């Protein structure tokens, strides 16, 4: 059974000890319920053990090591060495300068790493078995479920009568932080609401990669709702969520 595409790099990071505590917990939780990723993790661990076993690594002969060490490309270069510029040539240098100019012309603050992570997390959640850790339409089950798993209490308002029925919740990771993800439906669409402690955030609604995103702050928490519904409907959802979170 194949591993989930979105988890393959994370599985390698887990084996190599490169993940932070939050992502480690999320990947381990996923592996516990995904047979394909569990098998892939076992294969990676077996390969790692094999490579670390005696006889699997071989040192280069001294003669070869000496030849490599003597290569001109590996020798220290003077600070004013312009061989790279000569290799690029005038045309390539011009193209590079134009590219840099284009970068500097992009308005600052229009997109952030958090914006991209929100979209990535939303898309990942839409894969089978990834949407909820606790699946229920009962807000009195979802809200207590987060107790002991995170150190804050996210609001879980009931919005079914307004056209946004609750679907459940899960833990996710945004910006290296463990966050609460509260899931609602809008007809056949999914609305993810990510919640985490943070300072005041700019209130805004924008489109990114075809998804509508609404961000706001309330009571010391930062909120980000994302869905593929129209921006006007997501704005309506934000207003309902905020009004019933007091």
- Superfamily of 113-243 according to CATH: MucB/RseB, C-terminal domain (3.30.200.100)
pLDDT at 21: 63
Residues contacting 153, CB < 8 A, separation 6+? 143, 146, 147
User: From edge to edge, which strands make up the β-sheet containing 189-197?
Assistant: 134-135, 166-174, 177-186, 189-197, 221-227, 211-218, 204-208
pLDDT at 146: 97
As a whole number of angstroms, the distance between CA 217 and CA 201 comes to 6
Closest by CA position to 172, among listed 18, 30, 3: 30
CA of residue 49 relative to chain centroid, distance: 29
As a whole number of angstroms, the distance between CA 156 and CA 165 comes to 11
As a whole number of angstroms, the distance between CA 227 and CA 204 comes to 15
Handedness of CA 35, 3, 211, 112 (dihedral sign): positive
What letter would DSSP give residue 192? E
pLDDT at 54: 60
As a whole number of angstroms, the distance between CA 196 and CA 174 comes to 9
Q: Parse the chain into domains and list their residue ranges.
A: 5-52, 113-243
Q: CB–CB of 228/210 below 8 Å? A: yes
As a whole number of angstroms, the distance between CA 235 and CA 242 comes to 11
- Please report, in tens digits, the pLDDT of each residue of the chain (246 residues total): 778 877 777 888 888 777 666 677 777 888 888 888 888 888 888 887 777 666 555 666 777 777 777 776 666 554 444 554 454 455 555 554 444 444 333 343 456 888 889 999 999 999 888 999 999 999 999 999 999 999 999 999 999 999 999 999 999 999 888 999 999 999 999 999 999 998 676 788 999 889 999 999 999 999 999 999 999 999 999 999 999 997
Structure tokens, 49: 């053990």
Query: Which H/E stretch holds residue 173?
Result: strand 166-174
């Amino acid at each position: 059974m194949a591993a989930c595409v979105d988890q393959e790099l994370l599985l390698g990071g887990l084996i190599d000890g490169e993940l932070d505590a939050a992502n480690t917990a999320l990947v381990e939780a996923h592996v516990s319920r995904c047979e394909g990723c569990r098998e892939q993790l076992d294969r990676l661990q077996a390969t790692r053990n094999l490579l670390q076993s005696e006889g699997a690594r071989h040192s280069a002969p001294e003669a070869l090591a000496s030849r490599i060490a003597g290569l001109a490309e590996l020798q220290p270069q003077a600070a004013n060495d312009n061989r790279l510029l000569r290799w690029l040539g005038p045309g390539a240098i011009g193209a590079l300068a134009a590219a840099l100019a284009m970068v500097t012309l992009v308005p600052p603050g229009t997109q952030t790493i958090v914006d991209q992570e929100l979209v990535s997390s939303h898309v990942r959640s839409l894969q089978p078995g990834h949407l909820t850790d606790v699946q229920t339409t009962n807000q009195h089950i979802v809200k207590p479920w987060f107790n002991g798993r995170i150190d804050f209490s996210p609001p879980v308002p009931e919005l079914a009568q307004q056209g946004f029925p609750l679907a459940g919740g899960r833990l996710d990771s945004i910006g290296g932080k463990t966050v609460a993800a509260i899931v609602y439906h809008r007809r056949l669409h999914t609305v993810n609401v990510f919640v985490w402690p943070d300072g005041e955030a700019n209130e805004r609604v924008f489109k990114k990669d075809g998804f509508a995103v609404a961000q706001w702050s309330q009571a010391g928490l930062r909120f980000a709702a994302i869905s593929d519904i129209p921006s006007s409907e997501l704005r309506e959802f934000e207003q309902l969520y905020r009004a019933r979170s007091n």
